[in-house]
Structure 1
């Protein structure tokens, strides 16, 4: 059984609105006082130090195949309800251990190439300018930057990538949000199983039909590359193709939406750093890296213990859930000098936001490219962009993603 909590130890409660808005003070306490923290509310381990997070992500002690145990423990009615979504999620790279993970990633690398991302740059720029034009021509000063820019940009990029018409944005946003309450670890959604089932059913049906049509009528592009991808004759099954399309759409837009939103918020809250960026636009790459470190779009990665093992005197038992807190690791003073200072000129920025080892995010290069173009062009277009003082940002109620649900801004100060 897990070690009991003592009165002196800090308690991590992600449902606390103040923690949701700013989790970094409690992370600092946990790193110093209880780096292998048992959360009674989550019934999970919380790992907060950089070296521990990195080493666990690289080790065999943890498994990403956390759905099997969860699914087996469900009451029969919930198990029936979640059957389809668990089936498809189990086919995601994010939930597969070797050798299945090795096989699928080897096939996918033929579609996720550096040159493919490079060819997307003009499209990312075109979508960015289209959305900025809409903001500028709308005649309004007060806007929600998430809803009207940060969400739409990566969604359109991914939809173009997968051959999905842009006018389906609202449908895909609804389906993705329904799945996110389950996948992202929403804390306060009582109907999350029903919503997850509905979102997965609609999205998988759509992609099954789209893959069928594209197979019968080949057309050059990323989706065709996925369908045609082979590695020594091996290819993705139909269900693996559907699951991969869902993963690309879901993960590809959510992470980048949060990156763009967090970058905008941080630069507006740190006007000295924004001034540096405006005076030297070449700093955009290091600025994006610092956003990814300082308050990145991924708060935690979730694993399950594959075997019993000790860490800092605590015994983590096989089957127990483990949250490796990358956003805490990225503020560890053992690794980063003055870690609570937002510095877009920071060097040696070895953040863990996109993971480590075999599960390093395949879409990291695309997310960086979208973030760079979006932030660069947003502040170039709206020189006096400011936070709306009458309405604070609203943070996502989730354990895994980290970002704002609403980010009210004034386009012209």
Structure 2
């Protein structure tokens, strides 16, 4: 397959990987959605982009995540048509992200108690404290980058404290997390789309070794944290293996902050743009408005743009028959702007009836959704309340290279002043 003569259906995929699309991929998603279900050339890969099709697959009992069901070799990427790290080489294969029932059910049950709405609500004072401390540091410097100074440190601090990971190790964890998050991106036939596979394997091995050492420490000195609780579950005969403990911790670390960074940054960017600033003004005096703002942001500019599924058995959809073993790529960001479901879908409207798919559906619905919503709510309400007369320093901002997890790399904001907490 050459770059000049792409196979039928592959042209849009090459465009999807083009870094120029990061700033605004939604016109491309609209063109893809207008085509209906499509196949990626001669590969056993189906790409779905309507709300109806994506919702159907997310709930379908024959749409699974375990890679061995695929008819083509897959790494932990939505589309993998180039040699690279296999699923066995990268962490996550023992985590719930790549497991179906009954293993997924067992792993999720062990972790879910730490993310119930009631437990998460109890974290609000600490999350508020972290957000205010981040804004205080910006006050001292006289400038703020909403990604570097607020959107990133808030969720990484929370997930480190939940897991019992020393925050001083954050720089190493950040580097590993950024590399391994790129393993979720599609890979083009030309090899673009991800960092050097060897770097990702090295990051995986280092992260695995890090948590293995931390597990040994927690066995002798348990704490009041999720890692200690997972070790207790293992030792009480709940069939949680050492690899499952380590892979679950790695997944929670990466998923517990990478997506939330994007959620906070994407929402702030929207609110600071002309035409939407009145929503920021409302948020300043009515913090409860944050719930509607965040739900609309999850639809309008979701942090997770696409997810993969594999057909364990044949699946029939209007316009396409999916064979057993086919890889199914769900363009959630396209589905969230489907005009068949959302009136005037390219308009940001917190008042709309929201049925977005940003957190998925079915058994793999995002476990950390309550925490992500709370962290985004606190970050945005504290920013709106404390930062006086904020304006974007540049628009559009530079974006991260990720395709699957989309958000600004930096979001510098000018402001008149930052009020004291209160």
Equivalent in 102, 106, 112 of residue 105 of structure 2? 102
Gaps of 5+ in 1: none
> Matches of residues 11-50 of structure 1 in structure 2 within 5 Å?
13-31=15-33, 33-40=34-41, 44-50=45-51
In structure 1, distance between residues paired with 2:396 and 2:161: 33
Counterpart check, 1:367 vs 2:372: yes
Deviation (angstroms), 1:186: 6.7
In structure 2, distance between residues paired with 1:406 and 1:246: 25
Deviation (angstroms), 1:292: 0.8
> Matches of residues 357-396 of structure 1 in structure 2 within 5 Å?
357-389=362-394, 392-396=396-400
Are 2:161 and 2:225, in contact at CA under 8 Å, matched by a contact in 1? no
In structure 2, distance between residues paired with 1:405 and 1:120: 27
Are 1:332 and 1:339, in contact at CA under 8 Å, matched by a contact in 2? yes
Report the counterpart of residue 140 of structure 2 in structure 1: 137
Deviation (angstroms), 1:10: 6.7
* Deviations, residues 166-186 of structure 1 (Å, cap 9, x unaligned): 222211111111212212447
Q: Secondary structure at the match of 1:354?
A: coil
CA distance 1:329–1:12, shift in 2 (3 Å): farther
CA distance 1:186–1:385, shift in 2 (3 Å): farther
Gaps of 5+ in 2: 1-6, 418-422
Q: Secondary structure at the match of 1:89?
A: coil
Are 2:69 and 2:310, in contact at CA under 8 Å, matched by a contact in 1? no
Counterpart check, 1:174 vs 2:175: yes
Deviation (angstroms), 1:349: 1.1
Deviation (angstroms), 1:154: 0.6
Report the counterpart of residue 3 of structure 2 in structure 1: none
Are 1:180 and 1:186, in contact at CA under 8 Å, matched by a contact in 2? no
CA distance 1:17–1:110, shift in 2 (3 Å): closer
In structure 2, distance between residues paired with 1:311 and 1:398: 29
Which 10-residue stretch deviates more, 21-30 or 372-381? 21-30
CA distance 1:180–1:92, shift in 2 (3 Å): same
Aligned CA RMSD, in angstroms, stands at 2.9
In structure 1, distance between residues paired with 2:211 and 2:65: 25
CA distance 1:265–1:64, shift in 2 (3 Å): same
In structure 2, distance between residues paired with 1:19 and 1:189: 12
In structure 1, distance between residues paired with 2:257 and 2:42: 29
Deviation (angstroms), 1:321: 2.2
TM-score w.r.t. length of structure 1: 0.88
Counterpart check, 1:89 vs 2:92: yes
Deviation (angstroms), 1:69: 4.8
Report the counterpart of residue 222 of structure 1 in structure 2: 226
Deviation (angstroms), 1:246: 0.2
Counterpart check, 1:5 vs 2:8: yes
**Between Structure 1 and Structure 2, how many residues are aligned?**
401
Are 2:17 and 2:193, in contact at CA under 8 Å, matched by a contact in 1? no
Are 2:281 and 2:384, in contact at CA under 8 Å, matched by a contact in 1? no
Q: Secondary structure at the match of 2:47?
A: strand
CA distance 1:201–1:255, shift in 2 (3 Å): same
Report the counterpart of residue 303 of structure 2 in structure 1: 297
Deviation (angstroms), 1:40: 4.6
Report the counterpart of residue 4 of structure 2 in structure 1: none
Deviation (angstroms), 1:42: 9.1
Deviation (angstroms), 1:223: 2.3
In structure 1, distance between residues paired with 2:416 and 2:20: 29
Report the counterpart of residue 280 of structure 1 in structure 2: 286
Which 10-residue stretch deviates more, 354-363 or 235-244? 235-244
* Deviations, residues 100-134 of structure 1 (Å, cap 9, x unaligned): 21222223234433333222222211111111111
Equivalent in 317, 324, 327 of residue 330 of structure 2? 324
Equivalent in 125, 130, 133 of residue 128 of structure 2? 125
* Deviations, residues 248-292 of structure 1 (Å, cap 9, x unaligned): 000001010000000100101121322332343321111111111
Q: Secondary structure at the match of 2:355?
A: coil
In structure 2, distance between residues paired with 1:344 and 1:227: 42
* Deviations, residues 196-241 of structure 1 (Å, cap 9, x unaligned): 1111111111111111211211222222222224799524211111
TM-score w.r.t. length of structure 2: 0.86
Are 1:10 and 1:34, in contact at CA under 8 Å, matched by a contact in 2? no
> Matches of residues 55-66 of structure 1 in structure 2 within 5 Å?
55-66=56-67
Are 1:186 and 1:398, in contact at CA under 8 Å, matched by a contact in 2? no
In structure 2, distance between residues paired with 1:27 and 1:126: 39
Report the counterpart of residue 263 of structure 1 in structure 2: 267
Equivalent in 390, 397, 401 of residue 401 of structure 2? 397
